[in-house]
Amino acid sequence: MRKIRRLLENKTGWWFLSVLAVGWVAGLFHAQPAGAEYADVVLNRLSEANGVRPVIYPHWFHRIRFRCKVCHSELGFKMKAGGNDINMLELMDGKFCGSCHNNNIAWGLENCHRCHSGLKGLETGIRGGHKAGGPGVW
Amino acid sequence: MKRLFPITPALLCLLGGLSIAVVEAAAPADPPAKTEAAPAASAAQVNTFNRLMTPKSDRNQPPPLDGIHDPEGPGTKTLQAPRDAFSALPKSSGGNYVNWVQALKDKAINPRYDRLNPKEEPMIMELDIVREVKGFMPDVVYPHDRHTQWLDCSNCHPDIFVPQKGANTISMAQILMGQKCGVCHGKVAFPVSECRLCHSKKKDQALLKK
């Protein structure tokens, strides 16, 4: 403590501490890892609370195979991340994801880990929207 | 005591700095080697002026490296990497860096229009809507055909856009907040950084000079 006080008695000490402070603020905004693919959706309303990894839904993979309207009109998915109140029971009944993920059109629901593959602590929402990792939008 | 007072903020900063250092050191390095891979400045890269822009090498990362998939997850490594899927598709400069509309046109992809019937053809509406823009930007042309290839009328009408001429006010602010066009553009369809894809109709130059 006394050392720090001594540091502040000269200009260099002040400089040292200001640089440290600036570094600290910059650290708060430091670049995050590359980030999700554009339009990946994280679903974690129920997953983690029930002991499984959050779901990551890749829009890109699905739009190569289906047009938007198949899910957003036929299957009833609202066009808002987190706006669809769905659970595994409904999927098993053949609704929502379960209308294709039934070992008929696509692989079945027993492949838990293909969807439940997210890092713990992720929040529900759509990802990958920005071109940059910093505080700015682009 | 009075002399001590001005140094307290600085002390707080120091402690804060130390705490962040400790927390970051203690935090597990989740996607390994990701942050280390930042390209070192070299003479060839002097024009990469914005260090926050995602370098090309970091686009379309495979799931274990993308920062949201758990690399330890048993399913993560079985997932396809976007780069592998996109290699044969036409490129663009935003979003997934894939020109999806062109991909459809080129038949590089053939996504189903119906869940069960792979032969079902989309009902395409050919109607361009021109929206005059107040500012200096070129007017917006909204092409129904490129949208009806993917979507059903009910996806947009009447909840997002009232199907009536002049009934919809749209601003870039709303779009950036995820309303109107921003329900898709900026989230899943090409982002607003691609200005000229919408603002594509040159204004009458004679009118502009008045």
Q: What is the pLDDT of residues B6-16, one digit of tens each?
A: 455 545 545 55
Q: What is the mean pLDDT of residues B41-45?
A: 56
For residue B105, give every residue at least 6 positions away whose Cβ sits within 8 Å of its Cβ, in sequence order, or none: none
Q: What is the mean pLDDT of residues B43-66?
A: 77
Q: Are strands B199-201 and B139-143 parallel, antiparallel or unpaired?
A: antiparallel
Q: What is the mean pLDDT of residues A82-88?
A: 94
- Cross-chain Cβ contact A99/B115 below 8 Å: yes
Chain A residues 82-101 with CB within 8 Å of chain B? 99-100
Q: What is the pLDDT of residues B92-112, one digit of tens each?
A: 999 999 999 999 999 999 999
Q: Is the separation of the CB atoms in B31 and B71 below 8 Å?
A: yes
CA distance A22 to chain B (A): 9
For residue B107, give every residue at least 6 positions away whose Cβ sits within 8 Å of its Cβ, in sequence order, or none: none
Question: Which residues of chain A make contact with B11, given a CB cutoff of 8 A?
Answer: 4
Domains assigned to chain A: 1-30 (no CATH), 40-126 (3.90.10.10)
- Cross-chain Cβ contact B111/A33 below 8 Å: no
Q: What is the pLDDT of residue B91?
A: 96
For the record, the structure tokens of B152 come out as: 């059903």
Q: What is the pLDDT of residues B152-202, one digit of tens each?
A: 999 999 999 999 988 999 999 999 999 999 999 999 999 999 999 999 999
Q: What is the pLDDT of residue B53?
A: 74
How far lies B53's CA from each of A131, B37, B38, in Å? 6, 14, 11
Q: What is the mean pLDDT of residues A56-61?
A: 97
- Cross-chain Cβ contact A24/B94 below 8 Å: no
| Segments in chain B forming alpha helices (H) | 7-26, 82-86, 100-105, 144-148, 153-156, 172-176, 195-198, 205-209
Pick among B188, B193, B195 to test the A interface (most A CBs inside 10 A) = B188
Classify residue A122 as exposed, middle or buried by CB count within 10 Å of its CB (0-12, 13-18, 19+).
buried
Lowest mean pLDDT among A81-90, B47-56, B195-204: B47-56
Q: How confident is the model at residue B129 (pLDDT cuts 50, 70, 90)?
A: very high
Question: Is any Cβ of chain B less than 8 angstroms from the Cβ of A42?
Answer: yes
CA atoms within 13 A on the CB side of A14: 5
List, in sequence order, every residue forming a beta bridge with A132; answer none if it has no partner: B53
Question: Which residues of chain A make contact with B95, given a CB cutoff of 8 A?
Answer: 38-39
Q: How confident is the model at residue A10 (pLDDT cuts 50, 70, 90)?
A: confident
| Residue B168: count of CB within 10 angstroms of its CB | 13
Q: How confident is the model at residue A6 (pLDDT cuts 50, 70, 90)?
A: confident
Q: How confident is the model at residue A129 (pLDDT cuts 50, 70, 90)?
A: confident
| Segments in A29-126 forming alpha helices (H) | 59-63, 68-69, 88-92, 112-115
Q: Please give the DSSP secondary-structure letter assigned to residue B121.
A: P
Q: Is the separation of the CB atoms in B140 and B200 below 8 Å?
A: yes
Q: What is the pLDDT of residue B13?
A: 47
CA distance B165 to chain A (A): 24
Q: What is the mean pLDDT of residues A87-99?
A: 97
- Cross-chain Cβ contact A72/B151 below 8 Å: yes
Question: Is any Cβ of chain B less than 8 angstroms from the Cβ of A78?
Answer: no
Chain A residues 112-131 with CB within 8 Å of chain B? 112-120, 122, 126-127, 129, 131
Q: How confident is the model at residue B54 (pLDDT cuts 50, 70, 90)?
A: confident
Higher pLDDT, A17 or A28: A17
How far lies B94's CA from each of A111, A138, B113, B194, B203, in Å? 32, 11, 25, 7, 25
Tell whether the model's pLDDT for residue B35 goes beyond 70.
Answer: no
Distance CA B56, CA B93 (A): 10
| Residue B12: count of CB within 10 angstroms of its CB | 12
The strands making up A125-126's β-sheet, listed across from edge to edge, are: A55-58, A40-43, A125-126
CA atoms within 13 A on the CB side of A6: 3
Ordered by start, the domain boundaries in chain B are 78-110, 128-142+163-209
Question: Is any Cβ of chain B less than 8 angstroms from the Cβ of A51?
Answer: no
| Residue B85: count of CB within 10 angstroms of its CB | 17
Pick among B13, B35, B52, B68 to test the A interface (most A CBs inside 10 A) = B68
Q: What is the pLDDT of residue A138?
A: 42
Instruction: State the virtual CA torsion across B91, B93, B99, B100 in degrees, nearest 10.
Output: 130
